[in-house]
Structures are given as C-alpha cells and as structure tokens.
Amino acid sequence: MTREADPRAVHWLFGDQLGPHFIDPARGGPHRDAPLLMIESRSVFRRRRFHRAKAHLVLSAMRHRAAELGDRVRYVRADTYRQGLEEAVGDAEVTVHHPTSRAAHAFVHALPSVRVLPARGFLVTHDEFRTWADGRGTKQLRQEDFYRWVRRTHDLLMEGDSPAGGRWNLDHDNRQPPPRGATGLGLPAPYRPRESDIDDEVRADLDRWSRDGDVEFVGDDGPRGFPATRREALAALRRFVEHRLATFGAHEDAVLAGDATMSHSLLSTSLNLGLLDPAECVERAEARWRSGGVPLNSAEGFVRQVAGWREFVWHLYWYFGTDYRTSNALRHHEPLPDWFTDLSPEGTEANCLSRTLEHVRATGWTHHIPRLMILGSFALQRGWEPRAVTDWFHRSFVDGYDWVMVPNVVGMSQYADGGRMTTKPYTSAGAYIDRMSDLCGPCRYKPSVRVGEDACPFTAGYWNFLHRHRERFEHNVRMVRAVRGLDRLRDLDALLEQERDRAD
C-alpha cells in the first residue's frame, strides 16, 4: 500500500526536476496542496569551472519555474543546500523525488526529516532495471538488449510482438556520411528561445559572481540557446518532430563544419532539466511516423537515443555502484592540457578538434559524434585520466550531469571500465572522420598520413593506442583485425617515436 502524501510536508524540487511530472500526485508526487521549495546553492557552481552557458541555463530554468509556481514555492538562495533547507523548513518533514546524482542522493538520505520519493523523468524504474539486469550478470549488459526490452515492455514502434518494419536495429540506414559537397542539410533551424528579464537578471548575477572571484566559468554566455521553460521545451519538441526529425536518421552520425546542429533534436537539455518527459518525446516521434510524416529509420534512431541510450546510461550509473566512476582499466594517467580545459581552439592545429572546441566554447554543445569520435577519441588515444575527462565533459556541456557523464565517458568513451558497457573502445584513425565529415579537407594534416609533418594526430594516435594496448585487445573479437593491422605497418617504429616526441 502506498503511503498517502502529507499535504503539509514541503516538497523540494531540485534544479533538474522542473516539469509537471515532478509535482503530479497521480504519479507518486507530493500532495496537490503541498508547499514547494527550491534552493539555489552557490556552492554547486564553486565545485567545478562550469561552462557559463550551462550555469545560465540552469539558473534561468530554475528561476522561470519559480516564477510560474508563484506563491506555492519558496525560492531560497543559499550557500549550500543544507543552509537553504535549514532556512526554509528547519527540521520539518520534507519530501523530494530521488535526486539524479550520487552525492545529492546520499545527502538527502542522510537527512532525518527528508522522505525520498521514487525517481521521475525516466521510462524504466530502478526496480524494473534491476530485475532485467540481475538476470544477465554485469558483464553482459548491452544497450541493444536493453533497448529491445524497453521497446517491447513500453510498446514502442512495435507491430504485435515484432519490431515495426521487421528489424530492431536500423543503424545500417543511419550511418550515412554527409551529402557530398553540401555545407549543411538545409533544414529549418532548430527552435531557439527568446530571452526574458529573468535571463538579464541571471547574467548580471553571474557577472557579479565572476567579478567577486567567487565562481569561475569557462566558455561564452551568448544568447540562451536552449529552453528554460516547459512552454519553450514543448515548442522545441514540436519543431523537431514536425520539421527536423524526417532527416535525423540518415545523417545522425555525420558532421558538417557549416551545420553544427544537422538534424539533431537538441532536446537533451530539456529532458535533463526535467522540462520534458521522455515518454512524450518518443510517443510524438512514433505518432509522426505512424501518420506517414517521417521514415521509420528516423523515428527509430530518435527512439533509440531516448528510450535506449538515455535510459541505459541512467540505470548503469546506479547499477554499477559508487566505485565505477574511478575505473581506469587502461591505466591512463595523463593530465588534460590547458588549451583543452580552457576550450581554446587555438591550442591545436587539428581542424576537427579545433572546430569542435570552438563550437563547445560558443554554445556548450555538440552532437554525439564530435563528442565521441573527436573529443573523446583524442582523449583516449592520448591516455588522459578518465576521471578528469569525465569531469571536463560534465562541466563543459549544457546537458552534462553526473549521471549522464560517468557511464558515457568512463564506459563508452574512455573504455575505462574494461568493457562492462561496450564491446570495444570507440576510437578511430582520421579516415573515419574524413568519411563522416568535411573537416579534413581544410586541415593542415592529411588523414591518410601516419608519420611526418602531415601526419594526422588521429591516425598516428590510433595506431599508437593499439600498440600500447595490444595485449588487451588482441583477444577482443571486435578488435583483433585492427590489432593485427599493426603487423603490416612498416613505419611503426617511426610512428611510435613520433608519438613519444609529440607527448613530451
């Protein structure tokens, strides 16, 4: 029997619990008359040097939500969450939905007067995931299996017991390079919000914090590019589904220098702030396909990202335990260079890396391929410390949260978990970047060259990485062919010496 919510208990909303599904009594939320509390904690921004656009977005979204909720919410600005709670409620009872970080989860559980309600904002509950995963053993948790199970159990893109179109996985249709000679996909631009007085106030506060030397930021705080309210988030979802989803599938892995957003939804910030519920996103994409508005591979690619990857990453964050974040199976310990942590595109002559950093500095966002196959792959090849790489992604991206970045970076991008999450490391030589982008043409390096002045850092770095970890990967069925390729390199010694010199 579920315990009935106490109408007098204050319900605390974290800054990523901003949508209506976090205060819905019909979905296990607080009593409809429960007073609400929001705490803006300055110490959160002191802990890391966040991208300023991210700090702006989070504060703007929280303050917009508080303005919408009016007298029902008490909005406290405090140095820490503990101080904010003491000021607002003393030791009275408080309810809160399961927070999204381990640190916040431990904090609320240690408070005597806080009752933690189940997590919201995901399709699959913790108990459902544990039941699914426990039957498999932690070594065999694969996103593809999980995704098919979610499709079945949530009846997403299904025709009876079979996947719509007869295939679960349409990745083969969805890995096309960019259209030849094109500088962009020529689509209607993604939704961009209009700023309000609240944004002006946030910008003034951030200026003051920086001036006082209290908080340090990185990156540009240009016009806010992502939704801060439910209304804006719904407009962004509508625009994506109606105007941009149709071409999402085919080119979801392609990169064009002149079209940073391509056909991507840019909905991750809205989902991760809790402004959108994943169920409504995938249902709208499916409805659009069923009405004939978009091809199946596009709808499936989007559903896979939201109902597959996003859910999988959320649950692995909790399922793999507290030590997962410090995994370092490849024993990588190199520090990140300053130009990378400072988001300085001038720090590298590699065009792909420079252009990607430039875009991250300007917006705090790039789509998944620059993240994985340019930024993450470079870090992996250079042997950078995975925990520091995870922290960098967390603070530099507008949609980065602890639960997002720990599995995505430790597991997927840096292979620091030794293969618990993926079957092989995600890294490649320059040929992949050349095939999937238009970035190599103007570059001073050549993707096919391994050694010498024109040697592509990704191509040389790839072979150097394989050489360093040969013993580990020569027994991996997905890597064995690549590792054997080392034996055909007549210039391997020169390449290794070159990479040693580059590292010094």
Among residues 400 and 457, whose Cβ is nearest to ligand SF4? 457
x/- string (CB under 6 A) for ligand SF4, residues 217-256? ----------------------------------------
Q: Return the structure tokens found at 367.
A: 């789509």
H or E element at residue 78: strand 73-78
The smaller minimum CB distance to ligand SF4, of residues 257 and 412, is found at 257
Structure tokens at 297: 């591979």
Q: How far is the CB of 244 from ligand SF4 (least distance, A)?
A: 26
Q: Is the CB of 400 or the CB of 447 nearer to ligand SF4?
A: 447
Q: Are strands 162-163 and 158-159 parallel, antiparallel or unpaired?
A: antiparallel
Contact 349, 456 (CB under 8 A): no
How many other C-beta atoms lie within 10 A of the C-beta of residue 186? 9
Q: Is 447 in the site for ligand SF4 (CB under 6 A)?
A: yes
Q: Is 81 in the site for ligand SF4 (CB under 6 A)?
A: no
CA–chain centroid gap for 241, Å, is 20
Rule CB under 6 A: is residue 451 a binding residue for ligand SF4? no
439 binds ligand SF4 per the rule CB under 6 A: yes
C-alpha dist (Å) from residue 293 to 162, 242, 336: 22, 8, 45
Alpha carbon distance 103, 107 (integer Å): 6
Nearest CB to ligand SF4, comparing residues 246 and 455: 455
Strand 73-78 and strand 114-117: pairing? unpaired
Q: What angle do CA 103, 46, 404 make, to 5 degrees?
A: 45
**Rg, the chain, Cα only:** 23
- CB of residue 384 vs ligand SF4: minimum separation in angstroms? 17
Cβ proximity to ligand SF4, 383 vs 430, nearer residue: 430
Cβ 366 to ligand SF4 shortest distance, Å = 14
Asked if residue 311 binds ligand SF4 (CB under 6 A), the reply is no
Least Å distance, CB 367 to ligand SF4, is: 17
Among 98-106, 247-255, 397-405, 430-438, the segment contacting ligand SF4 (CB under 6 A): 430-438
Binding to ligand SF4, residues 321-380 (CB under 6 A): 350-352
- Kindly write out the interface string for residues 118-157 of this chain, putting x where it contacts ligand SF4 by CB under 6 A and - elsewhere: ----------------------------------------
Q: How far apart are CA 360 and CA 330, in angstroms?
A: 27
**Does the protein bind ligand SF4 through residue 430 (CB under 6 A)?**
yes
Which residue type sits at 393? F
Residues 168-207 that bind ligand SF4 (CB under 6 A): none
Q: Which of residues 452-471 bind ligand SF4 (CB under 6 A)?
A: 456-458
Candidate segments 84-92, 136-144, 360-368, 437-445, binder of ligand SF4 by CB under 6 A: 437-445
CB distance 343 to 396 below 8 Å: yes
**x/- site string to ligand SF4, residues 12 to 51, per CB under 6 A?**
----------------------------------------
Q: Is 148 exposed, middle or buried (0-12, 13-18, 19+ CB in 10 A)?
A: middle
Contact partners, residue 116, CB within 8 Å, separation at least 6 = 95, 96, 97, 98, 105, 108, 109
Cα–Cα dist 317/326, whole Å? 12
- Closest CB to ligand SF4 among residues 229, 356: 356
Using DSSP's 3-state secondary structure scheme, residue 450 falls into coil
Kindly tell me which of 182 and 431 has the beta carbon lying closer to ligand SF4: 431
Q: CB 383 → ligand SF4: shortest distance, Å?
A: 18
Extract the tokens encoding 205. 């506060």
Q: Which spans of this chain sit near ligand SF4 (rule: CB under 6 A)?
A: 350-352, 430, 433-434, 439-440, 443, 445-447, 456-458
